[in-house]
Amino acid sequence: LAQSSVHAIQQDAKGLVWLGTASGLSKFDGKDFFNYTTENGLADGAVKTIFIDSTNSVWTGHIDGGVSRVMNGKTEVVFNLKADITGFGLDSENHLWISTFKEGAIEIVNPFHANKDSILFKQYKGQDGLSDVVYQVVPLKNGTVCFVTDVGVKQFNSQKTEFSTFNVKDMPYYFQITCMLETTNGDLWWGSYNGGLYHYQQATNQFKIYDYLRDGIAANWITTLTEDKQGAVWVGTWGGGLSKMSSNQIITISNQNGLEDNNIRSLLIDREGNLLIGTKENGLLVFKGFQFLSYDKTNGLNDDQVWTIQTDAQQQYWVGTKEGISVFKKVNNQLKIIQKYNENNGLLYKDVRLIKKDKNNTLWIGTWGGGVVQFNSKSNRFEINYRINSFMSQPLITALEVDKSNNLWIGTTDGLVYYEINNQLADRLTQSHGLAGNDISCLFSDANNVLWVGSKGKGLTKIEGATIKKIKLEKNVTPISIVQDQKGNLWIGTEGKGILVFDGEKIIKEYTIADGLLSDYVSLLVIDNENNTWIGTNKGLNKLDVATGKMYAYTDKMGYKGIESKHNATFKDVDGNLWFGTIAGLIQLNINEQNKNELEPLTQITQLLVNLEERKMIANLALNYREKSVVFHYKSICFTNPEAVRYKIMLEGIDEDWRPATQQTFVTYSPLPPGKYTFKVMASNNNGIWNAEPTSFSFEITPPFWQQWWFIISCVLLIVISIVVVIKYREKALVKEKQVLEEKVKERTAEVVQKSEEIELKNKDIIDSINYAKRIQDAVLPSEGEFTKALKNTFVLFNPKDIVSGDFYWMQILPNPSEGGAVVFFAAADCTGHGVPGAFMSIIGHNLLDKIVGEYHVTSPAEILNHLNKGVSETLRQSAEQTNIKDGMDISLCVFNTQTSVLEYAGAYNPLYIVSQHQLEGVEVNMESENGLKLYEIKADRFPIGSYMDEVKKFQLHTFKLQKGDTVYLFSDGYADQFGGPQGKKFRYKQFKELLLSINAQPMENQKEALQQAFIEWKGNMEQIDDVIVIGSRVG
């Protein structure tokens, strides 16, 4: 601010406030000031009055003479006078009147002319029927122009071009009139020097005088008048502060209740309804309404630390503080101190934390260090209740509540005391009785007379009759405030966890900083008569609007100067007003005076920087391709709470959507490629009201010449012409080459046709050979029918990768005369490679198995594999000199006695899976399903068939007694190693096991189909990487 003495205040169409001071003109946007002085072009340094015309030009009248104008960013002197300029007024004919001290009044007939030298004006003085001393010019709605002069109020008749005295019945003229106001309803108000305030109601033709002593206005020296949006008149005085004149009451604001300066020079109601106050020595003050009234030690409180508020039977307000109790009585909706209590006049302990009133209108007072006392209204004395205090191990009271049965509950740092007021019976409850914790943090009795007990760090306890139940909340949560909404839900304020909404069974909603809370430390909760929830925190006050779901914030910027609310220090009075105890005194929320700022803020782009140099924001701005760094500065005007303004921005052409809302008032885009862009910005006010339409600015960055259309077309034409020339030249050469090539092509074509026929013939021979090999392999492998004949509940899933397979399965049946039934040999093998090489290896393995069992009569699976290992090695002649040869096979081999259900198994790399409902002796469960089905994995020996090793290893035999319903699975690695699925990964054995468990209850044929379908779905469009074989058999 240019200087602390503010003579004039006006607001322009953009929302900017202009202030006339003794040292220049100040422009204010709610946060920052920009000052104009004579160095900027003003006629004089001291500004007495301001007028803003319809073109948003700012006119200033100066104390030492002269009129200046700020128009389109340019400051100029319109004319100079050797007299104070006291006021401006625009009449119904758009003539601008200027009042002066000692030079009468000036009428400008063309004030909107851009050229000051073309402005036409005429001067009127005392000799013309006016006066040389004019304090104010006031154009009325009926076209009359009034002038407040040193000889009363004059009026101007434009038809006759003459002045006359403005007479009103009963209006005295023995006091100097200082200011005049016409209100929206047509009433006239005058301020006087030591004569008070005059009011003329035109509708009723009644005149009234308001006096400081008789009527209670702030003072009799009136300096300025203005009307607010509700039709109330605000009166600025010299020495007495402000008065608000409404239809039913007069409210005075002075330095005794928060006004910093009693000498008022100017007043303005801004577009949001705030009262801007220009003072003599304290600069600009912003009054945001009567929604919050504050009371502290200067108003009679014992101390500014207010812990509790309660009313007694006479509706007197008892306010508990750290230094005792202050008792107030409400007069004209404001509190007046009537009594103070401390240790010197009967209060037994001064640190009062809680006051509660029971149904007998007895006040119960909880102190910090002195236990519980009660106030006897008949004897007007404080009394100790020894029965209650005898149950306390520590006299530190943390909570008080009177339930619906008129029982008193006292929370302490070491347990809960219960007192039947009517029967004078007491008891103490602790964790041993079922409380969640002994350090009580809050108490609340709900509509059903259920008591809810908060414990520090321990959560919540529910006491219903004789039943005590712990309520499970978040770990280590401390409830410190509780309230119940109209649906019966409990709202629980916590230390650091925000608000938990509890329906009696579970948490149904949480509110934290992310939802708009000023803090997650919620010290008090109260619901107003419109069911809105008010939330006190350690950083201010929130309101949750139940109708819209919006969260509003109130801090010291909005009048809630206490900021930090005390625990449960809240009260709702009979008028529905809310009271809050804070660290800075008692705060009253007048529920009918809420500042509901529903106006969207005025948002503008204030500055454009291109390559860090300021550029005018002209229409269709075109930048060259080197000017690719752009900075936008923007601002939105919200005097109600400038700190709460939020901005969202986007640059069409770069941003696909609005960027998240922030408080930042500038943005940089660099580097920007050539193209067309539109920058958009929108803002929200303190109540979250956003601009309906964004403010925007469009510009273009032109491409370099080599990216211009004409250059590109020229280059294309040049290239086309060059190509045509080259083509024509090449055509001639190509014609000659074509003739030579045609001869060569004929020769080469004949050769290619001959070679193609030879290759086709060889390819047919190879395919015929492979198909013949497949028929041989199919003839060698047992059919699935042979398997099911020997083992009834059996399936074989066989998916070769190529025409012929490197995987094979084998079966042999031998009778068992000694025990009856038969012995079934069956195996699943995976030979090295696949296709034709693997097929050859599979035939070798198949023949060797037939020979070992059929001719050598070897029946032990381990011995069969030992013979097979030796036979394969000898067949392939693998020895120590040929250790680099890797041919061989992995195999799992089983021998099953159908009579005894004994299964013998041996394996080379390939394990055996057994799925059973029973426990297999000596084998650990590898995987178990939810229904108790167990999968056992019998590990194979970790060396293959056919590999050479320095030390001959023997295969291990595994024997099991199976039971009916048990299922065995043999398989190669082709199924588990197949790539597929959404991420193209291997199927893996874990998933294979889970699949087997999930399908085990199905018939064996259905299991085969399920395995086949799962394999196809997993593989999808990917290539099969290996041969696949899976054999499953269930004991009947």
The alpha-carbon radius of gyration of the chain (Å, integer) is 49
Please tell me whether residue 652 adopts helix, strand or coil conformation.
Answer: strand
Query: Cβ neighbours of residue 886 under 8 Å, at least 6 residues apart?
Result: 832, 947
Query: 984 with 894, same domain?
Result: yes
Mean pLDDT by 10 residues, the chain (1036 residues): 94 94 93 91 93 95 93 90 93 94 94 84 94 96 95 90 90 92 96 96 92 94 96 96 90 86 96 94 91 88 96 94 94 83 90 95 94 90 91 94 96 96 93 95 96 96 94 89 96 96 94 94 96 96 91 87 92 93 93 81 93 92 92 92 91 94 94 94 90 95 82 88 88 82 78 74 70 72 81 91 87 80 91 75 89 91 93 70 61 93 94 94 90 94 78 88 95 93 92 94 94 94 92 92
The last residue of one of the domains, among 61, 80, 99, is: 80
The reported pLDDT for the residue numbered 883 is 44
Please check whether residue 912 lies inside any domain of the structure: yes
Residue with structure tokens 């280059």? 715
CATH code for the domain of 975: 3.60.40.10
Please tell me whether residue 511 adopts helix, strand or coil conformation.
Answer: strand
CATH code for the domain of 36: 2.40.10.500
The reported pLDDT for the residue numbered 887 is 64
**Contacts by 408-413, CB closer than 8 A, 24 or more apart:** 408/356, 408/358, 408/364, 409/443, 409/445, 409/451, 409/453, 410/366, 410/372, 411/440, 411/441, 411/442, 411/443, 411/453, 412/440, 413/438, 413/439, 413/440
Cis peptide before 815 (omega within 30 of 0): no
The last residue of one of the domains, among 132, 158, 184, is: 158
Query: 589 with 609, same domain?
Result: no
Instruction: From 400, 481, 498, 478, select the one nearest 437 (Cα to Cα).
Output: 478
Global confidence as pTM: 0.64
Would you state the torsion angle of the CA atoms of residues 583, 586, 587, 588, taken in this order, to the nearest 10 degrees?
160
- Give dist(CA 500, CA 481) in Å, integer: 11
The reported pLDDT for the residue numbered 47 is 95
Query: 896 with 970, same domain?
Result: yes
- Give dist(CA 598, CA 272) in Å, integer: 8
Residue with structure tokens 């009660």? 374
One-letter amino acid for residue 53 of the chain: D
CATH code for the domain of 527: 2.40.10
Residue with structure tokens 């779901």? 549
Cα of first residue to Cα of last residue in the chain, in angstroms, is 100
Please check whether residue 338 lies inside any domain of the structure: no
Q: 80 with 100: CB under 8 angstroms? A: no
Q: What's the domain count of the chain? A: 7
One-letter amino acid for residue 547 of the chain: A
Query: Cβ neighbours of residue 733 under 8 Å, at least 6 residues apart?
Result: none
DSSP secondary structure of 523-568: EEEEE-TT-PEEEEETTEEEEE-TTT--EEEE-GGGT-TT-SEEEE
Strands (E), 939-1010: 958-961, 967-971, 979-980, 985-986
Which one-letter DSSP state was computed for residue 741? H
Query: 969 with 994, same domain?
Result: yes
Query: 725 with 737, same domain?
Result: yes
| Backbone angles phi and psi of 20, in degrees to 5 | -95, 125
The shares of helix, strand and coil residues in the chain, as percent rounded to the nearest 5, are: 20, 40, 40
Please tell me whether residue 230 adopts helix, strand or coil conformation.
Answer: coil
Instruction: From 409, 414, 450, 455, select the one nearest 436 (Cα to Cα).
Output: 455
Cα dihedral across residues 288, 292, 296, 299: positive or negative: positive
Residue numbers of the domain that contains 524: 508-594
Q: Which is it for strands 695-701 and 621-623: parallel, antiparallel or unpaired?
A: parallel
DSSP secondary structure of 824-885: EEEEEEEESSSHHHHHHHHHHHHHHHHHHHHTS----HHHHHHHHHHHHHHHHT--GGGTT-
Q: What are the C-alpha distances in Å from 330 to residues 116, 334, 339, 428, 890?
A: 59, 5, 13, 39, 98
- Give dist(CA 690, CA 683) in Å, integer: 6
The reported pLDDT for the residue numbered 877 is 65
Query: 973 with 1007, same domain?
Result: yes
Please check whether residue 971 lies inside any domain of the structure: yes
Query: Cβ neighbours of residue 65 under 8 Å, at least 6 residues apart?
Result: 43, 44, 80, 81, 82, 83, 84, 85
The C-alpha angle with vertex 969 and arms to 965 and 970, in degrees rounded to 5, equals 150
Query: 36 with 116, same domain?
Result: no
Q: 320 with 354: CB under 8 angstroms? A: yes
One-letter amino acid for residue 614 of the chain: E
Please check whether residue 518 lies inside any domain of the structure: yes
One-letter amino acid for residue 421 of the chain: I
Please check whether residue 738 lies inside any domain of the structure: yes
CATH code for the domain of 696: 2.60.40.10
The reported pLDDT for the residue numbered 985 is 92
The last residue of one of the domains, among 549, 567, 594, is: 594
Query: 72 with 24, same domain?
Result: yes
- Give dist(CA 791, CA 684) in Å, integer: 79
Q: Can you name the residues that pair with 24 across neighbouring β-strands?
A: 21
Query: 664 with 719, same domain?
Result: no
The reported pLDDT for the residue numbered 833 is 67
Residue with structure tokens 């005018």? 616
The C-alpha angle with vertex 355 and arms to 353 and 359, in degrees rounded to 5, equals 160
Please check whether residue 720 lies inside any domain of the structure: yes
Q: 486 with 492: CB under 8 angstroms? A: no
Please check whether residue 565 lies inside any domain of the structure: yes
Query: 872 with 985, same domain?
Result: yes
Please check whether residue 829 lies inside any domain of the structure: yes
Query: 739 with 790, same domain?
Result: no
Edge-to-edge strands, sheet with 522-527: 522-527, 533-537, 540-544, 551-554
- Give dist(CA 61, CA 82) in Å, integer: 12
The reported pLDDT for the residue numbered 879 is 43
Query: 93 with 205, same domain?
Result: no
Residue 97, judged by CB atoms within 10 A of its CB (0-12, 13-18, 19+), counts as buried
